[in-house]
A = this chain, B = another copy of it.
């Protein structure tokens, strides 16, 4: 057949993406399949492959969208402008609350974002990496006042360390792999980590091993 005039390729691409998003939101990651998307938009499965090279590419773009939505969500958080540890702690706590709220409202998309490992081992595309960096810049800004003496790269390493640590707690808790081992909510555990981490950043050996 040919162009059913119904939808341009670009429209189709969006329709497929939206259908995928709906499926994941409504039924979890396991509901995402080419056939179900096709059924939802009233096309044949093969049509998806005219517009996306494969399902991994579709997921990548969907994850990019989730990343963007997460950034939008977190940049709404009102941050304190003071440069002391107390303010940084409060700010990080606010970000944490925002992040946990986002996860709560977008649990399945968030799982897809972090748990999905694409079959191919190619590097992620530049536009995707940019979004990750943009997201991390939110934490970076909060830590900036405390790390003004250090270089941009080292600062980003510190932010990323904190971020990855929080992610570890939240994702293990989500997978129910912390239940045995911990008696508190992941929120409380994250708060503890933030406080301890910030406290630990004071006057100790930095990344390069020098004392500040």
Contacts and interface: CB of A to CB of B under 8 A. Distances in A.
B161 A193 contact: yes
Nearest to A129: B180
B157 A165 contact: no
A182 B197 contact: no
A200 B195 contact: yes
Query: What's the dominant secondary structure at chain A's contact region?
Result: helix
Given A167-B168, A168-B165, A168-B171, A178 B197 contact: no
Interface in A189-212: 189, 192-193, 195-202, 204-205, 207
A160 interface: yes
Copies of this subunit? 2
A210 B132 CA distance: 36
A175 interface: yes
Chain A interface size range: 35 or more
Contact of A160 (B132, B176, B181, B202): B181
A202 B197 CA distance: 11
B153 A165 contact: no
Contact of A200 (B156, B158, B168, B200): B200
Contacts of A51: none
A184 interface: yes
Contacts of A117: 115, 175
A182 B157 contact: yes
Nearest to A157: B182
Contacts of A124: 176, 179-180
Interface string A162-189: 0111111101110111111111100011
Contacts of A166: 165, 168
Interface of A: 30, 114-115, 117, 119, 123-124, 129, 132-133, 136, 153, 156-158, 160-161, 163-169, 171-173, 175-184, 188-189, 192-193, 195-202, 204-205, 207
The 5 closest A-B pairs by CB, nearest first: A168-B168, A200-B200, A165-B165, A196-B200, A199-B200
